[in-house]
Structure 1
Amino acid sequence: MRYTTVEEELEQRTHSIENFSYGINRFIIGLSKKVLLANTLGELGKIFSNTNEKTVLFYWIAAVAFTLQVYFDFSGYSDMAIGLGRIFGFHFLENFNYPYISKSITEFWKRWHMSLGTWFRDYLYIPMGGNRVSRVKWVRNIVVVWFLTGFWHGAQWNFIVWGLYFALFLILEKHFLKRLLNSLPPAASHMYTLFFITVSFVLFNANSMSEALENLQGMFGMLYVPLCGPESLYYLKSYGLVLIMAGIGATPLTVKIKQKLETYKSGRGALNIMVPVVHVLLMLLITGYLVDGSFNPFLYFRF
């Protein structure tokens, strides 16, 4: 959060029932993302790490689970911060804008961790000349920014490679891939983005480059492990509902349904009853999970 964002509200804030209500609701949504979705997906990741019965399917299940986990963990954290801020009269900026609906890597980084992206843009990329320089210098600017973005997450090679991985795609999209993506059906460009984002988070989640390479080899059948197995199918069935819920929750579908209902008088009346009830039920469910579960810190506390 930048000082200019909250400068005026540090001196004078407006407190209201509307702000307080919005803040509580937003906080509950964020906490639900963390406890009910991110933590549950994290359990699946631990099971994958501890099992000796790995298959190509299980490698993919683990990769998709972490891709969803890191989103709900960090966006949930951001929702909670925004909600707490609003309770006290602060209007914090959004940090995520449904990044998994993106149709390119460039669009993804306009929607993901926006506070980090804008910081690097304003304090490093633009002072270096941004895109108002020669093509060679522009490529240099992209490589430097994304090298440091990876290094910001940690002084490990997998983070450096992760940052340079995105630099490569941003350069390719700028020069020819973006035109190709625009000519494809939206579903195809969307699948392209999800595929390479999932691969990127395999790099991000590894403890070393050797572990990252092993997991990538496993995903693409290069470790001579079975394509599928009874244990993989068991955990896919056990966590299938959570994966589906997380997949839907990563899209603006529920928001659009809510907005559609708000256009009708009867819909607004139903929402006035349903929303508080759902949030109370979520809090009861979250409390049960927290009492019965173990401590699960936010993933980004590592950085």
Structure 2
Amino acid sequence: MLFNSIEFLLFFPIVTLLFFLLPHNYRWMHLLVASCIFYMFFIPQYIFILFTTIIIDYLAAIWIEKSDEIKKKRYLIISIISTCLVLFVFKYFDFFNHNMLALSHRFDFYYPEKMIQFILPIGLSFHTFQSLSYVIEVYRGNQRAEKHFGIYSLYVMFYPQLVTGPIERPQNLLVQLRQEKPFQYSNLIEGLRLVLFGLFLKMVIADNLGVYVDQIYSKPESFSSLSILNGLLFYSFQIYCDFFGYSSIAIGCAKAMGYNLMDNFRNPYLSSSIGEFWHRWHISLSTWFRDYVYLSLGGSRVKIHRWAINILVVFILSGLWHGANWTFVIWGLTHGVLLIVEGLVNRVFKTQKDKGQNTIRKIFNTIKTFVIVSFTWVLFRATDFTQVKLIVKSLIRNISVSDDFSVDPKIWLFLLFFITLDSVLLNNRFDVWCNKRHLTFRWSLYIAMILMIIVFSNVDNFPFIYFQF
């Protein structure tokens, strides 16, 4: 079920209303059934795969809590391997097969040519990581094993963030699922604000930009360098508004019932460095890799060469997490290299950095970071390296100051509106920021957003970009 669908516009208010009508002891059942219905709108059979990982990690956590140190580690390894095996089979098996077949032709050894293709279950990467974080936290002694199978299942399957995150931690979400949530008008209003904001980002900005981006990437050799640059700019804001929109809707749906999910974005395009960008972009994933991979490898408390390797490992894995394609691997590797270079430069010029940045330097670094990130998105958006080459060739060879790609003026107005709004929000969430505004201004903004959704939303319901991960 897509957040930007008619079905969801019926599903969300019904689920929220029934949640408050039911006694506290029955709410977990209601939300679990609702989450199953939500998930089964995609491919119903895949709910069995989801419950397989839930059962594995539910039992593993209980056994870990009961066992001595040797057995604890054994159960943790079994849990990680089993859960990751499900992820590997459905997401990476075809990628692995394809590459092994290519190697067999290159180095002349036998490898069976039969390929098995699986349809990737929606949200597999997200709920796999959420489930793993729970088991790891139990192993580390930071979380008690949840004995109630229904509550634990709801932790993994909680419908607002089941498909595309945020990737929650048990210390936040699991604890809240056991708490009684009385109806609060302020929570409902703040939640509805976030849902409206998310739908606006997705349906008005991301989907309209996506129409132009798809045309540019479908035949990049046909466009001038200026058109390609417009395409790169549009994709930067398409992916941001698409994913930020989903996260806002997810957080809003949970907030309406009194649950607080973690923020996933904090004005990432206002970052003045690549490191800062990754502190502001897809926060739930970047902190997951930091806490469970980077710090486990030693983090920055090691020699420089080892620190650099740790960074590369994290970002290569991050690239692979996004997709079974070498373009994602190189995208992750590129960001890893950029972070290493940035870290080394900061070490060399530590005194200058400590003095802070003046306004002009801050603006320059922010623009520079945005340009770098926008160019790396080419690897993320392209289907293969051939498409990447065509984009680069068009940028270099088809140099022209004229735009041969007609862009509707309203697109620029949408972008200007969003950039202005995103800038004034700063580190405030939309619902919190609205609380500080005058009533007349708030309602004018709500009405403007609703009208733009009705008038300018695309006829086709485009799926969210991160659904594929």
Alignment of 1:71 onto 2:213: no
Q: 1:191 aligns with which of 358, 364, 367?
A: 367
1:94 Cα deviation after fit: 0.4
1:140 Cα deviation after fit: 1.1
1:38 Cα deviation after fit: 0.5
CA offset digits 1:219-265 (Å, max 9, x no partner): 3x2xx224133533x32746322332333344235888x999988xx
Query: In the alignment, what sits opposite 2:192?
Result: 24
Alignment of 1:293 onto 2:465: no
Pairwise mapping of residues 182-261 of structure 1 onto structure 2 (< 5 A)? Answer: 185-219=361-395, 221=396, 224-229=397-402, 231-232=404-405, 234-235=406-407, 237=409, 239-252=411-424
2: CA distance, partners of 1:19 / 1:262:
12
Query: In the alignment, what sits opposite 2:183?
Result: 15
Query: In the alignment, what sits opposite 1:272?
Result: 439
1:193 Cα deviation after fit: 0.3
1:47 Cα deviation after fit: 3.1
1:199 Cα deviation after fit: 0.7
Please say if residues 26 and 82 of structure 1, whose CA atoms lie closer than 8 Å, have aligned partners that are also in contact.
Answer: yes
Residues 46, 176 of structure 1: alpha-carbon distance in 2 compared, 3 angstrom cutoff: same
Alignment of 1:46 onto 2:222: no
Alignment of 1:302 onto 2:468: yes
How many residue pairs match? The answer is 291
1:6 Cα deviation after fit: 1.6
Aligned residues with identical type, % of pairs: 29
Please say if residues 41 and 242 of structure 1, whose CA atoms lie closer than 8 Å, have aligned partners that are also in contact.
Answer: no
- What is the RMSD computed on CA atoms of the aligned residues? 2.6
Q: Which runs of 5+ in 2 are unaligned?
A: 1-167
2: CA distance, partners of 1:244 / 1:281:
15
Please say if residues 39 and 69 of structure 1, whose CA atoms lie closer than 8 Å, have aligned partners that are also in contact.
Answer: yes
Moved more, 11-20 or 48-57: 48-57
Q: What amino acid sits opposite 1:229 in the alignment? A: S
Q: What amino acid sits opposite 1:103 in the alignment? A: S
CA offset digits 1:61-84 (Å, max 9, x no partner): 000000000000001100001100
1:282 Cα deviation after fit: 2.3
Please say if residues 320 and 329 of structure 2, whose CA atoms lie closer than 8 Å, have aligned partners that are also in contact.
Answer: yes
Q: Which runs of 5+ in 1 are unaligned?
A: none
Query: RCO greater where, 1 or 2, for CA within 8 Å and sep 6 or more?
Result: 1
| Normalised TM-score (structure 2) | 0.58
Please say if residues 34 and 72 of structure 1, whose CA atoms lie closer than 8 Å, have aligned partners that are also in contact.
Answer: yes
Secondary structure (helix, strand or coil) at the match of 2:407 reads helix
2: CA distance, partners of 1:261 / 1:35:
21
1:113 Cα deviation after fit: 0.2
| Normalised TM-score (structure 1) | 0.87
CA offset digits 1:107-133 (Å, max 9, x no partner): 000000000001001111111111111
2: CA distance, partners of 1:146 / 1:62:
25
Moved more, 241-250 or 164-173: 241-250
Q: 2:450 aligns with which of 278, 283, 303?
A: 283
Moved more, 96-105 or 7-16: 7-16
1:277 Cα deviation after fit: 4.0
